[in-house]
Structure 1
Amino acid sequence: MREALFYEKRDGKVVCHLCPHECAVKEGKTGLCRVRQNREEKLYTLNYGACSSCAVDPVEKKPLYHFYPGHTILSLGTWGCNLRCLFCQNWEISQGNPPTVNLEPAQVLDMLRAQGPRCIGVAYTYSEPVVWYEFVLDTAKLVKEAGYKNVLVTNGFINEEPLCKLLPYVDAMNIDLKSFRDEFYRRLCRGRLEPVKRTIEQVHRRCHLEVTTLLVTGENTGEEEIEALASWLAGLSPDIPLHLSRYFPNFEFTAPPTPLEDLYRARDIARRYLRYVYLGNVWDEEGGITYCPECRRPVIKREGYKIREVALKEGEGSWLCASCSAALPLVGRVFVR
């Protein structure tokens, strides 16, 4: 347990400024995230170093398809979340009380060093990394100083000041843009859309960015919404990879899995605006292929999370299509398993 960052005392309560909820927390209580508690007018983080999940994953599983393709990454998660999505796919750790082991930042660095050269760094993932912000910040500093990479897989629901404090240590993010309608966020997630859009706008200028949208049956699969989401992302950069992921019933949501035709239609719409659109949570031969934006030939073929074929050549500071020499927005070396 550590004293939290980003709060102030007010009328016997503490007001947390980590995320846009700005929870006013009474003595002995926690905010919506369940992991930041008022104790004698000080805000404490209850999950500092409390690790609920740990694995070495393919970086594609985050999902990141344009960041050190084919490499692995040490992946850590905690418990708690600052949203409450009724369809949460990881509700056991985000909304439950899972068993945890305690880690210190130096231990994480030792674990990372033991993985070998294919492991590029640490991903703060599985649960929402914002809610163990202090541990992520401390660990990310050590990881960065040691020459490794930091990745956040996040819902993007964070205030501007803490985001700016963390960003110098972050190399890549995958941000979950759950819907392009504020009504969806409020009704199904207890959140808001605008703070997430603001985070995406800031992040795409500062580090590598990919975006994921879970297509929930009957909720965010409409053609107008997909078009609005994709065109907005393209206004930032048409090179931002978008991962459209298939929903399955989970937590408190019982709608059937996303129909495949909805997934394919959404991909077709998004491709009108974005150069790189992928499908997740579905076995689709084309869903994981990276195509050259100029000649449309495959430059990376994936089977699940594994890279099977590469048609790239090295240029000056960039990867080029082996067929037409067009530049590809890929970060880092490509490792073929």
Structure 2
Amino acid sequence: MLLNSGNDTVPGRYWHHLDDGRIQCDVCPRFCKLKDGQRGLCFVRARQDDQMVLTTWGRSSGFCIDPIEKKPLNHFLPGTPILSFGTAGCNLTCKFCQNHEISKARQMDKLGSLATPEMIAQTAKDHGCSAVAFTYNDPVIFLEYAVDVAQACRELGLRTVAVTAGYIGDKAREEFFRHMDAANVDLKGFTEDFYHKLCSAHLSDVLETLKYLKQETGVWFELTNLVIPGENDGDGEFDAMTNWVRENLGPDVPMHFTAFHPDWKMMDHPRTPPETLIRARDIAIKNGIRYPYVGNVHDKSASSTYCHGCGDLLIGRDWYQLSDWNLDAHGCCANCGTGCGGVFQSTPGTWGPKRLPVKLI
């Protein structure tokens, strides 16, 4: 397949030559080894003219302004709007992917017209957004484009958010997360068998990314665990996962246990019962996780934030609508003064549950 030679193809970073004449991509732990003209599993990184290139720079699958809670991020600028976009392709093969029309796309006509970093940043600012989110597909695979957009956003005083599976190589993760202000990382399961069978990946690489985020960066991050009946919904797995999070990342990292719905190659699995999510949340609380939530179901109580000092309600949520706000200007409980982990403004945003598709200026 011939590669596009237009403005959407740019030199890639993090690769090296092999002795057998191939080149190896080092962006993610898949380490695809390519002959001339071949693409990696992600489909968007390819070998061209004896170098690695990114074939989707400046191309998007669409833009939409969402509530930041939809990423999900409950402790990062609550109530504010965020401009969301993605490209095409993915470096995982998750059989349960709920964005497979984008992440598994193999046709460039899934992508829209040119969207430069400056255009994206200016559009976000003009619409009063707090940040820009790289989402819908994993931004790790379009690292060069994501970094360029993040730099343009920073020049306009905007933040950037990565919604990612955290499957990234050690050198690439240093640059990638240096330009991110926040992230939501999918911790898809907590066994090697789950990652191998359903994602063609390795749990250990994701855990290394999480430890790196905690120990080496100032990125605010939250975790999402999509709970799939019969696959990763056992009490033992919830117990092991939440204990690991508390011991390695600390008790203040929010965890979102979200409901699966049948999709792509897993149409034979049932939806996640709300009771399973509550069970996971209860185990997380027992193991010292201060901010566990349920997602993709309507449960105001289990979606709200409580003070770990006195137990008072800090942030009430009804789906994506904030219903209560009891934090002071310093992000502390208005009742007892205990700090709440997160990045907060002195007052909450008022965007609410609106979803607004936009075109770039």
- TM-score, normalised relative to structure 1: 0.96
256, 275, 280: which one aligns with 1:243: 256
Instruction: Choose which of 190, 212, 216 in structure 2 pairs with 1:202.
Output: 212
CA distance in 2, matches of 1:166, 1:39: 23
Quick one: distance in 2 between partners of 1:35 and 1:176? Answer: 21
Q: 1:72 aligns with which of 81, 91, 101?
A: 81
What RMSD over aligned residues (CA atoms) do the two structures have, in Å?
1.2
Map of 2:10 onto structure 1: 2
Of 323, 327, 352, the residue aligned with 1:312 is 327
Cα distance in 1 for partners of 2:118, 2:227 equals 38
- The aligned amino acid for 1:135 is Y
State the partner residue of 2:280: 266
Give the Cα separation in 1 of the matches to 2:56 and 2:235.
40
User: Secondary structure of 1:37's partner?
Assistant: strand
**What residue is the counterpart of 1:88 in the other structure?**
97
* Contact 1:308 1:336 survives alignment (8 Å): no
Distance 1:285 1:110 in 2: 35
Say whether 1:150 aligns with 2:164. Answer: no
Q: CA deviation at 1:326?
A: 1.4
So what's the TM-score if we normalise by structure 2?
A: 0.89
Q: Bigger relative contact order, structure 1 or 2, given CA contacts below 8 A and separation 6+?
A: 2
1:170 corresponding residue in structure 2: 180
Q: Distance in 2 between matches of 1:200 and 1:101?
A: 34
Partners of 1:336 and 1:129 in 2: CA distance = 26
Structure 1 residue 59: deviation in Å? 0.7
Structure 1 stretches lacking a partner, 5+ long: none
Q: What is the 5 A alignment of 1:33-72?
A: 33-72=42-81
Report the count of equivalent residues.
332
Shift of 1:146: 2.5
Contact 1:52 1:77 in 2 (8 A): yes
CA offset at residue 336 of structure 1? 4.6
Q: CA offset at residue 106 of structure 1?
A: 1.3
The range that moved more, 206-215 or 90-99, is: 90-99
Of 322, 326, 329, the residue aligned with 2:338 is 326
Residue 179 of structure 1 aligns to a residue whose secondary structure is coil
Q: Give, in whole Å, the separation in 1 of the partners of 2:81 and 2:213.
A: 23
- Name segments (4+ residues, structure 1) moved above 6 Å: none
Per-residue deviation, 1:162: 1.0
Give unpaired runs (5+ residues) of structure 2. Answer: 1-8, 351-361
Alpha-carbon distance in 2 for matches of 1:13, 1:114: 45
Q: SS in structure 1 opposite 2:335?
A: coil
Partner of 1:301: 316
After TM superposition, give the deviation of residue 309 of structure 1 in Å: 1.2
Given that 1:309 and 1:336 are in contact with CA atoms closer than 8 Å, whether structure 2 keeps it comes out as: no
- Matched residues, percent identical? 37
Q: Give, in whole Å, the separation in 2 of the partners of 1:336 and 1:19.
A: 36
Q: CA deviation at 1:322?
A: 1.7
Q: Aligned partners of 1:304, 1:260: CA distance in 2, in Å?
A: 14
